[in-house]
Amino acid sequence: MTLKLGTEIPGTSADGNITTLWVPTIKDIKAPTMAELEAGTDISNYVMLGGWSFDPSQDAVSDQRENAVQNFGAPGRKSAGDISIEVIDNTNTEHQEQNEAVTLMHEGASGYIVRRRGIATDTPLAVGQKLTVVSVICGEKQVINPDASTMIRSKIPLFAKAPGWESETAEISNPKG
């Protein structure tokens, strides 16, 4: 199929269409259940715009044949890259009781970051929706020096603990587990 000039290609705004959860346990990273996801905490309101950093990459395996005039390749090891999340940090403020992201993701905490894109945040999770699920252990919270007119926030470094974290390859399974 050839794309014709002037063809309108629809797109979906990211605004209000991203949900982020912290989930304590997931048995199958590719098929989290509704019960597992409902046991998690929606931290979407704490995540700063552009604050999710997840840059997976894949090495190339060199395939150089003696009799060929070309080099070939194959997909190699995958890396989750530098993973972190920048969140509102209400430590020592009048809002410190509302600090779930920082409280849940303290250094040494293990869990799962679950991200859903393309569906309004206030739309409930449903069977069949595609997710990115990353099994992580949290590093030491890093306080971000404020700029003018910004919120108090921190960056939490995350480290991948288990395989299976490819972007949007997980699908919500059975309704309650």
Which CATH number belongs to the domain containing residue 26 in this structure? Answer: 2.40.30
Q: Is 176 among the domain residues?
A: no
Per-residue confidence in pLDDT tens, the chain, 177 aa: 677 788 888 888 888 999 999 999 999 999 999 999 999 999 999 999 999 999 888 899 999 999 999 999 999 998 888 999 999 999 999 999 999 999 999 999 999 999 999 999 999 999 999 999 999 999 999 999 998 999 999 999 999 998 888 888 999 998 665
CA dist., res. 32 & res. 153, Å (int): 30
What is the tally of structural domains in the chain? 1
pLDDT given at position 55 = 87
Residue 65, in any domain of the structure: no
The pLDDT assigned to 165 comes to 84
Q: Write down the pLDDT at residue 121.
A: 94
User: Domain residues for 147?
Assistant: 18-57+72-171
Question: Can you say whether the dihedral through the CA atoms of 170, 173, 176, 177 is positive or negative?
Answer: negative
105: in domain: yes
Per-residue pLDDT, 176: 60
